[in-house]
Amino acid sequence: QASKTGGVLTPTKDDFQKVYNDVAELLENNDYDDGSYGPVVVRLGWHASGTYDKDTKTGGSNGATMRFAPESEHGANAGLKTARDLLEGIKKKHPWISYSDLWTLAAVAAIQEMGGPKIPWRPGRKDGDVSACTPDGRLPDATKEQKHLRAIFYRMGFNDQEIVALSGAHALGRCHTDRSGFDGPWTFSPTMLTNDYYKLLLEEKWAWKKWNGPKQFEDVSTKSLMMLPTDMALVKDKEFRKHVERYAKDNDLFFREFADAFGRLLELGVPFEKEEKFVFKSTTD
Ligand code: CCH
């Protein structure tokens, strides 16, 4: 239950930690994908936030407008209903939390529960209505390369180093033919956040996959991993590659810079009233 202060309902850090714990409990599920809903929940937090446009100050996680068509129907958001539906049970149990706080908090929980760094998080997002839905095309298109990545992420206010740090989330999860059309995981441990994505980018030989699906790469030695054209752009481009090399060598550095960029991604465009951030206990602490 949220605590009442001066007649105003003010949820405390403990109230949010309870939400974290309930999300953590839902994530592991052997009947789903690689045994965890963690990756798709991270993707929900990212797609809710990555619509931000710093010039018009529109989009971002505030509003949780992906609840509504047309945003829920945008091609980039295919499959995210799974994550939204999963979190519906948490919203029922803790009706005081906004969807926009819930989705971002859940992404933090997923990162931490999959062995990633602590992501300081603060509440304050308010749910909007359908009129705040963003236009299609604000999220990256995997068939493109470095120029497109820069256009999309610079629009959010990120730089080259942060683009590479955020992309390390592809250590997690997989592509689904019935969602994006692409197929397969990026790493051998898709439910653990590590710097393996960068190591594999540099150390494996990658070739175009021969199939009828969209153009993607596969690792030559096992043919069980994949890279998108946008992933390969990170080693083709000299500026991006520098950071791929930094993170491949140093997992702690990756965790620090990922935590910083991901924390800010979840806050883009949110008019917070409070500065204080919460660091949630992980279930393994
Ligand atoms: Fe991503 N991502 N992503 N991605 N993504 C996909 C899956 C995940 C791009 C395209 C795709 C980020 C950046 C990019 C995750 C987190 C992040 C898929 C497969 C495509 C396509 C979807 C499917 O079929 O299910 C492109 C292009 C970019 C360009 O930068 C960033 C940034 C993040 C987070 C910080 C995660 C996690 C997944 C796995 C989802 C799952 O269901 O397993």
pTM over 0.90: yes
Q: What is the mean pLDDT of residues 240-262?
A: 98
Write b or e for each residue in 249-265: b if 16 or more Cβ atoms lie within 10 A of its Cβ, otherwise e: eebeebbebbbebbbeb
Residue to mutate (ligand 1; options 36, 43, 230; most atoms within 8 A of CB):
43
Whether 1 has a pLDDT exceeding 70, the answer reads no
Q: What is the DSSP string of 241-252?
A: HHHHHHHHH-HH
Burial per residue of 15-28, b for 16 or more beta-carbon CB atoms within 10 angstroms, e otherwise = bbebbbebbbebbe
Q: Is the pLDDT of residue 110 over 80?
A: yes
The predicted structure's pLDDT at residue 205: 98
Report which of 68, 128, 60, 57 is spatially closest to residue 98, judged by C-alpha positions. Answer: 128
Tokens read off for 257: 């810079």
Chain centroid, CA 201 distance in Å: 20
- CA 16, 19, 21, 24 dihedral sign is negative
- What's residue 154's pLDDT? 98
Annotated catalytic residue, options 46, 121, 186, 206: 186
The model's pLDDT over 138-173, given as tens digits with 9 standing for 90+, comes to 999 999 999 999 999 999 999 999 999 999 999 999
Fold of 4-138: Peroxidase; domain 1 (1.10.520)
As beta bridge partners, residue 28 has 36
Residue spans of the domains in the chain: they are 4-138, 146-260
Residue 3, pLDDT score: 59
- To 10 degrees, the CA torsion angle through 159, 136, 168, 262? 60
* 186 labelled catalytic: yes
The whole-angstrom separation of Cα 281 and Cα 95 is 22
Q: How far is CA 112 from CA 38, 49, 118, in A?
A: 10, 18, 6
**Ordered strands of the 217-219 beta sheet:** 206-208, 217-219, 226-227
For position 10, what pLDDT does the model report? 86
How many angstroms is it from 5 CA to the middle of ligand 1? 40
ipTM for the predicted complex: 0.99
Largest CA distance in the chain: 65
DSSP three-state, residue 253: helix
The gap from C-alpha 131 to its chain's centroid, in whole angstroms, comes to: 24
* DSSP symbol at 213: S
Place of tokens 């993607």: 216
Query: How confident is the model over 98-113, as a mean pLDDT?
Result: 98
How does residue 2 score in pLDDT terms, banded at 50, 70 and 90? low
Q: Is the CB of 185 under 6 A from ligand 1?
A: no
Residue type, 99: Y
What CATH number does the domain located at 146-260 have?
A: 1.10.420.10
Q: Is 76 in the pocket of ligand 1 (CB under 6 A)?
A: no
- Beta carbon of 48 within 6 Å of any ligand 1 atom: no
Q: Is 103 a catalytic residue?
A: no
Instruction: Specify the pLDDT at position 89.
Output: 96
Residue 176, number of CB atoms within 10 A of its CB: 16
